Amino acid sequence: MGFIRRKWFQIFIGGLVLLYAMEKTLIATNNLNFVPSVILLGSFLIPITFVTYLYETLPNWEVSFPAMAICFLWGGAVGTLVAGTLEYNVLKTLGFLPMLGVGLIEESAKLIFPLGFYLKGRLRSEATGILLGTASAMGFAALETMGYAFVTLLRSQGNLLVLDGVLFARGLLSPAGHAAWTGLVCAVLWREREKAGRAVLNWQVLGAFLTAVLLHALWDIFNGFRGATFIASINLELLSMLVAYTSLTLLNRRISEAKSPLI
């Protein structure tokens, strides 16, 4: 029962209670002023909880809270801005954007602020890389979820059940999506620099980045199509879960690696 005293658990439970109270108040009063609060809290609850969990779990990190906050807020905001602009421009000129291109753009955009800390060279442990990478990715995921939630609310004509479904699904899967992909890349970046004693761009780093792009593309593909039959829909869902499981497994390996001394 020691997890009850953990900050991540307290944040998660407190956030759930507050979100429930906000929705009940919104329904009871029909006061639309609560809608932005519901979307904001629902979008940020699991991302903040997951980053806090890693902050409490990983050893030997050197990152300060302001650095994590910068990656989470500014990294997420700038990442969504850059990704959205590039994707829009490509769509406008080509008329379509392959899912692989989406993965390449978004995985690059999420690295902007973590790379800034990486190039400064003062924060060197692999655990630090994981924290900065997942913080930026979770800020990106939270803001992206806010957009999806807002559009869903409009299209469903204010259906809170549909809104809750989007917030729950995207929040629950975000650690196995954006966080896992960017966390993987940053873990390898910091690990390889720790081995070499300097900033490096080698095949291990490129391999991690291309793996993240491929997993991102596969996730978008399997979630972007609807099966023509019930069986086809189930198969697509299973493939999506396989991508999520693979992504989270790779991140967990990097977390375990960060807990062990470099040999």
Quote the pLDDT of residue 230: 65
Burial of 217 (0-12, 13-18, 19+ CB in 10 A): buried
Backbone φ, ψ for residue 96 (5° rounding): -155, 160
Cα 135-141-145 angle, rounded to 5 deg: 145
From CA 161, how far away is CA 144, in angstroms rounded?
Answer: 19
Quote the pLDDT of residue 227: 58
Which residues of the chain are under the pLDDT cut of 70? 1-3, 60-61, 89-97, 123, 226-230, 261-263
pLDDT averaged over every residue in the chain: 88
Give the global pTM. 0.91
Strand segments (E) across 12-117: none
Quote the pLDDT of residue 80: 94
